[in-house]
Structure 1
Amino acid sequence: MVAGRNPVIGSVIDKYEVLQKLGEGATATVYRGRHISIGKDVAIKVLHPHLCASSRYRERFHREARAVGRLSHENIVSILDYSGQNAEDCYIVTELVDGMTLLALIDTHGAIPSEILASIGIELAEALSFAHKAGIIHRDIKPENVMVRRDGVVKLMDFGVARVLDEGQITLDGSLLGSPAYMSPQQAVDEKLDGRTDLFSLGTVLFHAVTGHVPFAGSNASIILRNIIDGQRAEVLELNPQAAPALAAVTDKLLQTRAEDRYPTADDVVTALHAVLTESGLTPEHPRINLRAWLVNPKETETLLVAHLQTDLLSRGKSRLAEGDTVGALQLFNRLLAMDENHTEVLALIQALHAPPASSTRIGRLAVIGAATLLLAGIAAWVAYPSADPGAHAAAKAKIEAPVVAPPAAPPVATLAVAPASTPVAATTTKPLPTPAAKATLPGSRPEPRPPAAAASAPLPGKVFLDLVQPADVWIDGQKKGEWRNAKGRQTWLGTQDNPILLDPGPHTLELKNPGAKLFTERFTIGPDESRRVSTELERLSSEYVVNSAMPRDCLLTVDNTKYGAVKDFGGRFEVPGATGHVIFDCPDKGRFEYDVTPKAGSLDYIPNPMPKELLP
């Protein structure tokens, strides 16, 4: 017998006809359904049968229905029906959202423009504000649980691990409730939670959406949680220089390790995100640059947005220069140069900052200007996005890096460091020592003699070191550079201390390929003579299966010609390597049952599911 069409499709659950499978998770399957009497399409979330049989999961499902049933808000998926806690089948019926998950939008479009994302964040924060005021925290905010409707309305869904704040916290045998990559530090260590745990998770979602990378990552859940607890992550503007500094600041505050350092309430986040749009001269209701327009035609909307921002950023940058806010101006210019690295007016403004002082009264102000500019490394666009014509910026860059004369009593200048980009995957970066500051001299005094200028030479290459668990082919920028192998002669492997990967300064893409593992990709920018170490364990392309408890224990299992023996002898758990697998159960007096499976890496599924009727007692 070969597994065929899903028997649930076409069936009737209570008063709902099941039409189509929409998706499946670790605990439930979601179907498109239709109310038989009134013809309304709905979403039906059906708990997996083996979990429905568990009192623990019934309780969790009941809590979800109870939690969502208390919430009626435009930005929260509404519940229409519920099977009840004691029903034979466990299901929840909700409104059907015609749109895409936020994760699907990120996968389709990459990093989402800051101003578009701010509109999404506003609606999510408004949903959380309503839930928190009703005494409910979600505890599983992630892109998969955010739906964006075609008309631009954002919907928060899946309150499967929500908790009512006036009830005791329920755990399932100490299991981790929530998704590790988006979990707050307090949730990771099982502290008492309040609404600020959802705000941290909202910050991880905004970070992921604006950069295309999760802020905290690793080869397994333990590494991810350790990075969350320790606050080990990259900065938004390191990974995406085109992001709005104001949105990066909101995200950074949401991702503070201590709950008291975040925004106090979701309403405060709504206010902060509105300010992001206001600063850019936009509102969520802008006639041509808004979320709905972007969903319909992202390319045209982004073109309009860039044109608007180029004018706006230049204008605001000039205003901040006039107000003496040089660091603020350079942040705006940095974003503008990330969009157009050859913007002549911005480059001219930067050169003008370093014109020779007309009088000694301007020295202090120029010292601040020079220090801020140096700290921005001549605007990070030159590092992250080198010009096709380096000579075009040579004069401006030389002036940016020139020493500045300052009075001896000058107050310290706040630093704004621009670090090389890194992806949050259990990697560590060793940055080169900062260049010593120019020695200040009194006005009119003779500067110390300088040694003759050295002839221009090529910058020293950066070095990448690897520390891998599995063998892999090492690719850099689309070209294979060598191999990492578990064999004798470790000193010859690429990426070891004796054989580092040498790279020209600038942005690069590292890929680690192993036919039995998911592709590992890390994008980063490396500086001259900088060292970077990547330590990771590749995620195997295998899925663990558990034999359905109703399967006779004397059935013999074969997986892709590998014989496991009787179910009772190997414990009922096995792995399917690769992208597909062929599973055979030979059951005495019952016959042979064959299944073609397509496992998802790292998943845990039950098989057979459902059980063949021939094997049911």
Structure 2
Amino acid sequence: MIGQKVEKYQVVEEIGQGGMAVVYRARDTKLERDVAIKILHPHLVRQPEAVRRFHREAVTVAKLHHPNIIEIYDYSGENSPVHFIATELIDGVTLNAFVERHGALPCELAACIGRELCLALKHAHDLGIVHRDLKPENVMIRRDGKLKLMDFGIARALEVSTLTMTGAILGSPAFMSPDHLSGRKVDIRSDLFSLGSILYYMATARFPFDGRNPHEILKRVAEGDYPPPQEANGAISNRFARILEKLLQVDPADRHPDSKALCRDLEGVIAEAGIENPDEETYRLLADPARRLAEFIARLKARLERQAQEAIRRRPAAAMEIYNRLLAMEPEHPEANRQVQILAGRLKRQERLRRATRFAVAALLLAAAAWTAYYVFKAFRPPPATIEEARAEMRQDGPLWSEPPEQSEPPADEMRLPATPSDVVRPAPPKPTLPRAERLTELEGRRQTPPPADGVPPKEAFGALQVHTVPWADIFVDGIYVGRYPTEINPQSMRLKAGKHEIRLENPGFEPHVQTVVVDRPDQKVVVRERLRMRPALLDLKNDQDALVFIGGEFYGRTPVKKPIEVRWSEQESKKTLLVNLNKEGYAPFNQFVTLEAGQRKALAVQLRKK
């Protein structure tokens, strides 16, 4: 095709090619401008499916008008002998080539680039168009630093059914969403998953889902199996890591709901870094990456140092996190190494104080419980049966109210014994120190069914079990599996006969919950609501150098440890990536992000090196 003329376009040179078409640089002879012309492969012209896809791309891109989306100039039409699309010519490189050349970007700059792509996607999504093939090769960077999203070859409108052949997969497997991969209906959240993969790639210089062959890659995408971001690059901030983890969720419902919500989160990362104009920062970086990247990293380090200094007094754990991030960026950073040693000692003292406080509070609670039990026991004692018992009890307890002055007893010969027991006047029992408690005789849900008045036998009692747990749980009734909340609930299996039943909720990463319920009346609702308590993750730390151990900023004692360290976290997540930090004076600190799983054991061997 080089040297030939296609309508008004003189083909100059080939730029690239793919499975459907070849892209050439061409000259518009009428408007005297250079364009990119995409020509469908000749062997595909006779395939109606390929022609429809090509036509759909032209129609789709023509609807989009956004500074970050490639602009279409011309289209041949479906009946032309040569099928082509003419677009603006992008003089630059792909995002993939940019990262390969310059390596992983600071997560704040990755957020700036991601924000521009997010705004472009928002424009397409607002028009009901899903890209479906987002990847670094489809993002172009112009020489002036402008980003352009291109290749809407398999994009489609949300209301249009897919035109792919049965069993065919359109898109790039390493960046496809699990819902796209499984053949389910895709929506805007599928594009957000792919954008999350691009953000991960920019911040780590590695694909989130990688493998030895396409089958292994597809399996990892379907299972959401990827290295945690902070394991791939320890300089990634916690805030940015949380965004990636949310975007790369297997279930679309767990991702950001739309592009606007994602833009908001990315702008939070950008603001945290003190970037006032993200558009300008992006242009400057992409136009002159060699110089601007070094300048930005220097500014970022200085800002992190200031933030750490501000957090040292009131938030030492946060300061430790910032210094560890600095050490991931520059392992020999002198100030960070010095402050980590100081903070390690301070956090150790704080941990000792917390333990002492917990012990004191426990002792006070135990004493209060014993005191309360003593007086409750006294309140429930039976009244004395004789005068002698009453007097003995009053002597033991002391007077509970003012007594009248004692009178001297008359001589024995003047005392008169009563003739009958009815003449005996028993003294009132001593007043208790606490009012007598009345035991409740009926509990809610356990009232007895009244006997039938008309002789008709009562309706047989059946209860309806309703279970609500955080997180999911397998449900067992009297040792028999009946379903999983919330995905596998069968109303029939949740019916309970009259009597007592043991309800057991199980989740591998959480402590089981066991509860006994009673069904004793017809149509009784038995509701079990429970937030399962997470099992601790076990870290088998091997080190015998008497080093201070910090996990996720919390002090866990000194090495060597005799048994695996139990690690818990507040979020209801079965997996958590935490920074493991070992410090000893005279040795280089050890910092490594480790992914722990609730209820599972992980081994970590550490050998500190002398400075």
Give the equivalent residue in structure 2 for 1:11. 4
Assess, with a 3 A threshold, how the Cα gap between structure 1 residues 91 and 306 changes in structure 2: closer, same or farther.
Answer: same
Give the equivalent residue in structure 1 for 2:511. none
Q: Distance in 1 between matches of 2:592 and 2:246?
A: 20
Assess, with a 3 A threshold, how the Cα gap between structure 1 residues 181 and 299 changes in structure 2: closer, same or farther.
Answer: same
1:64 to 36, 45, 57: 57
Q: Deviations over 1:218-255 (max 9, x none)?
A: 22222211111111110111111123333222222111
Q: Distance in 1 between matches of 2:78 and 2:567?
A: 67
Question: What amino acid is the match of 2:320?
Answer: L
Q: Distance in 1 between matches of 2:293 and 2:93?
A: 19
Give the equivalent residue in structure 1 for 2:421. none
2:83 to 57, 72, 90: 90
Pair 1:242-2:235 in alignment: yes
- Report the RMSD for the aligned CA atoms in angstroms: 3.6
Matched ranges for 1:246-395 at <5 A: 246-285=239-278, 290-324=281-315, 326=317, 328-350=318-340, 351-355=342-346, 357=349, 361-363=353-355
Give the equivalent residue in structure 2 for 1:209. 202
Partner secondary structure for residue 100 of structure 1? strand
Give the equivalent residue in structure 2 for 1:433. 602
Assess, with a 3 A threshold, how the Cα gap between structure 1 residues 275 and 296 changes in structure 2: closer, same or farther.
Answer: same
Which moved further from structure 2: 218-227 or 149-158?
A: 218-227
Q: Deviations over 1:79-135 (max 9, x none)?
A: 111110121111111111121110111221121232222221111000110101101
Give the equivalent residue in structure 2 for 1:230. 223
Q: Distance in 2 between matches of 1:83 and 1:103?
A: 30
Q: Distance in 1 between matches of 2:116 and 2:191?
A: 14
Contact 2:24-2:36 within 8 A present in 1 as well: yes
Gapped regions of structure 1 (runs ≥ 5) = 1-7, 368-374, 378-382, 384-390, 423-430, 436-458, 461-503, 507-617
Alpha-carbon deviation of 1:70?
0.9
Contact 1:120-1:291 within 8 A present in 2 as well: yes
Matched ranges for 1:569-580 at <5 A: none
Question: What amino acid is the match of 1:280?
Answer: A
Contact 1:317-1:333 within 8 A present in 2 as well: yes
Give the equivalent residue in structure 2 for 1:181. 174
Contact 2:49-2:163 within 8 A present in 1 as well: no
Pair 1:417-2:578 in alignment: yes
Alpha-carbon deviation of 1:341?
2.0
Partner secondary structure for residue 144 of structure 2? coil
Give the equivalent residue in structure 2 for 1:150. 143
Q: TM-score, normalised by structure 1?
A: 0.59
Assess, with a 3 A threshold, how the Cα gap between structure 1 residues 295 and 366 changes in structure 2: closer, same or farther.
Answer: farther
Q: Deviations over 1:118-157 (max 9, x none)?
A: 2211110001101011010000000010011122221110
Q: Distance in 1 between matches of 2:72 and 2:356?
A: 63
Assess, with a 3 A threshold, how the Cα gap between structure 1 residues 319 and 61 changes in structure 2: closer, same or farther.
Answer: same
Assess, with a 3 A threshold, how the Cα gap between structure 1 residues 366 and 116 changes in structure 2: closer, same or farther.
Answer: farther
Q: Distance in 2 between matches of 1:208 and 1:364?
A: 46
Partner secondary structure for residue 152 of structure 1? coil
Alpha-carbon deviation of 1:191?
0.5
Question: What amino acid is the match of 1:156?
Answer: L
Q: Deviations over 1:390-420 (max 9, x none)?
A: x9xx977799774499xxxx99554643499
Contact 2:95-2:140 within 8 A present in 1 as well: yes
Q: Distance in 2 between matches of 1:198 and 1:185?
A: 11
Assess, with a 3 A threshold, how the Cα gap between structure 1 residues 285 and 324 changes in structure 2: closer, same or farther.
Answer: closer
Alpha-carbon deviation of 1:282?
1.1
Question: What amino acid is the match of 2:78?
Answer: Q
Q: Deviations over 1:173-192 (max 9, x none)?
A: 43101111100000010111
Q: Distance in 1 between matches of 2:558 and 2:548?
A: 14
Gapped regions of structure 2 (runs ≥ 5) = 360-536, 571-575, 581-590, 594-599
Assess, with a 3 A threshold, how the Cα gap between structure 1 residues 505 and 205 changes in structure 2: closer, same or farther.
Answer: farther
Percent pairwise identity = 37
Matched ranges for 1:22-41 at <5 A: 22-41=15-34
Larger Rg: 2
1:108 to 89, 101, 105: 101
Which moved further from structure 2: 121-130 or 245-254?
A: 245-254
Give the equivalent residue in structure 1 for 2:597. none
Assess, with a 3 A threshold, how the Cα gap between structure 1 residues 412 and 243 changes in structure 2: closer, same or farther.
Answer: closer
